[in-house]
Amino acid sequence: MRKLLYLTFSMALVAALTTYAMWAADRPVGHYLSDLRIDLAVDQGQPADRGNLLGIQPELFPTDYQSPERLHRKLAAYLQKAREQGLLNEKTIVVLPEHVGTWLMVTGEKDELYQATTLKEAMNWLAVSNPLKFVRALIGAEGGSRLDDAHLRMKAKGMAKDYQALFGGLAKEFDVTLVAGSIVLPDPSVIDGKLKIGRGALYNSSVVFGRDGVPIGQPQRQMHPVFEQQDAIKANGDHTLNVVDTPAGRLGVLIGSDSWYPDNYRKLDAEQAQLVAVPAFVVGRGTWDQPWRGYKGSSTPGSVSLKPGELSEGQAWRHLTLTTQAPSSRAIAGMSVFLRGQFWDQPSAGQSFLSSNGQHFADGNARGARLLNLWL
């Protein structure tokens, strides 16, 4: 009797494991509808032979990331609209928002993940659908939140490959220099023209792709992650800023709240940066109009007198982003571009703006995908 029970249990366990393995391996492609429209919200200056900064504020959702082809279709539609309006040339620098590459972590997943109602539920589906990858990532996880680290780390190799293929491909397809927002990867670096991952901590990083689709220089790592991210994402301790040569001039990238630190602009000035791109992201519906919460876990620079609550979040971003504000920055132009859309129960805020001649120009409409253009 005992042998029979043991045999029955063993067969049931094998059947259960086989069913789970088949379920985890299945990746059905669901029906997909996406709004490919985008409006030109800000157009400053006059066309000349010096090029332009073109910000793309996309409106993205989890289903846009179901495959790299879907995300390409949407971003390519935005760039095609810009081309039709005469906004693309060989000196154009396109700027995409922060974390536009990070969500590649959910590419190629099961329908249940995209249909989840909360981010936590979606991450649970991510782990359950990729058990071996998740366990390996959890073993190597670092930081204060090992679970968040594992979710971001478990598909990092594929994410890096998709990121370069997608955004490098767009740069080459449309013959532009492209600041590819940012992506969270473990210890990223560019080796022989390829974006590679390492075994170290996770960094929120941005890569600039040239017109040939190849990365220019090394990834720019974020120096001051906000406190919501600090348990999983490490600050760039050596505080290096990369300035790269582009057809429109020397370009520096400040990721998110790195643009709030006056010392960063002095470092960019020392490297003779003429242009500054700020990929950014603000989470929470209505956050843009709510009181600014300060430096969010990082120490306030001594030269900054602004106190939490004195301005709204949006006003603080424009006040602290010092591009083209002499003597704080000697750059001739800058652009801050925000990610819009909703990822499960995490809506986004933020209204993109550009800086030129000491002035900010912003789009007052927070809804929908937007183009912001500045002729240099």
Q: How many domains does the chain have?
A: 1
What pLDDT is recorded for position 12? 43
Domain coverage including residue 365: 39-375
How far, in whole angstroms, is CA 369 from its chain's centroid? 16
Q: At what angle do helices 146-153 and 119-129 cross, to 10 degrees?
A: 60
Whether residue 28 is contained in a domain is answered as no
Whether residue 359 is contained in a domain is answered as yes
- Beta bridge partners, 252, equal 243, 276
For 188, residues 6+ apart whose C-beta sits below 8 A from its C-beta are 160, 195, 196, 197, 198, 203, 205, 219, 221
Distances (CA, A) of 41 to 57, 351, 362: 10, 11, 8
Q: What whole-number distance in Å separates Cα of residue 124 and Cα of residue 118?
A: 10
DSSP class of residue 186 equals E
Q: What is the CATH number of the domain that holds 261?
A: 3.60.110.10
What pLDDT is recorded for position 170? 98
Whether residue 4 is contained in a domain is answered as no
Q: Is the whole-model pTM more than 0.75? A: yes
Reading the chain (376 residues) residue by residue, the pLDDT tens digits are 555 455 454 444 444 444 444 444 555 555 556 789 999 999 999 998 999 999 999 999 999 999 999 999 999 999 999 999 999 999 999 999 999 999 999 999 999 999 999 999 999 999 999 999 999 999 988 877 889 999 999 999 999 999 999 999 999 999 999 999 999 999 999 999 999 999 999 999 999 999 999 999 999 999 988 755 557 888 887 778 999 999 999 999 999 999 999 999 999 999 999 999 999 999 988 899 999 998 876 678 888 889 999 999 999 999 999 887 777 889 999 999 999 999 999 999 999 999 988 888 988 766 789 999 999 9
Whether residue 47 is contained in a domain is answered as yes
Whether residue 10 is contained in a domain is answered as no
- Beta bridge partners, 249, equal 246
DSSP class of residue 86 equals T
Reduced to 3 states, what is the DSSP secondary structure of residue 207? coil
Q: Which helix (H) or strand (E) holds 348?
A: strand 346-349
In single-letter form, the type of residue at position 332 comes to I
What pLDDT is recorded for position 175? 98
Whether residue 7 is contained in a domain is answered as no
Whether residue 19 is contained in a domain is answered as no
What pLDDT is recorded for position 225? 87
Whether residue 5 is contained in a domain is answered as no
Largest CA-CA distance found in the chain, in angstroms, rounded: 88
Distances (CA, A) of 119 to 208, 265, 344, 346: 29, 35, 5, 7
